[in-house]
Each structure stands twice: as C-alpha cells, then as structure tokens.
Amino acid sequence: MKATVHVMLKSGVLDPQGAAVRHALGTLGFDGVDKVRQGKVIELELDETDRDKAQTTVTAMCEKLLANTVIESYRVDIA
C-alpha cells in the first residue's frame, strides 16, 4: 500500500523559501504570482493491507517525526 504525506507550514507561519521562490519567479518574468507556500511530499510504501490501519500508522509517523505539528499541518493520502 502506498501513503503520500503532504506537509505544509501552517497559515501565519513565515515561509522564507516560499518568498524566495515568489521573488525568483518575478525576476524570471512570471508576473501575477502573489504568494508562494513551499512544502514537502513524502511517499511511503507500506506492507500493511488494511487501509484504516495504514492511515493510523502513517498519522502516528506524522505526529512523531514527519511533521512539526507546532508549525506544520499535514494530509495523508492512502492508495
């Protein structure tokens, strides 16, 4: 089973990487980009065959390691 975790900074948390990307896009001629938020995607291949157990396990991974829940939010997709 495959799990995909999308991690993003929470709203209101300063995103200097996103600001740098927005600025770079402007200097390359890509006008009209008002805001960029940069995050990360983590793909996991799991041995688990039960979707609910996989969701629970990956959520625990996010809470303990994959996301800093103080400043980041995450979404788990199980396929």
What CATH code is carried by the domain that includes residue 73? Answer: 3.30.1280.10
H/E stretch holding 45 reads: strand 39-45
Q: How many domains are contained in the chain?
A: 1
Q: pLDDT of 42-75, one tens digit each?
A: 999 999 999 999 999 999 999 999 999 999 999 9
Q: pLDDT value at position 35? A: 95
What tokens appear for 1 in the block? 């089973």
Residue in 53, 47, 55 with CA at minimum distance from that of residue 74: 55
Q: pLDDT value at position 78? A: 98
| Domain carrying residue 60 | 2-78
Q: What b/e sequence results for 35-70 when a residue is b if at least 16 CB atoms lie within 10 Å of its CB, and e otherwise?
A: eeeebeebebeeeeeeeeebbebbbebbeeebbeee
Q: pLDDT of 21-33, one tens digit each?
A: 999 999 999 999 9
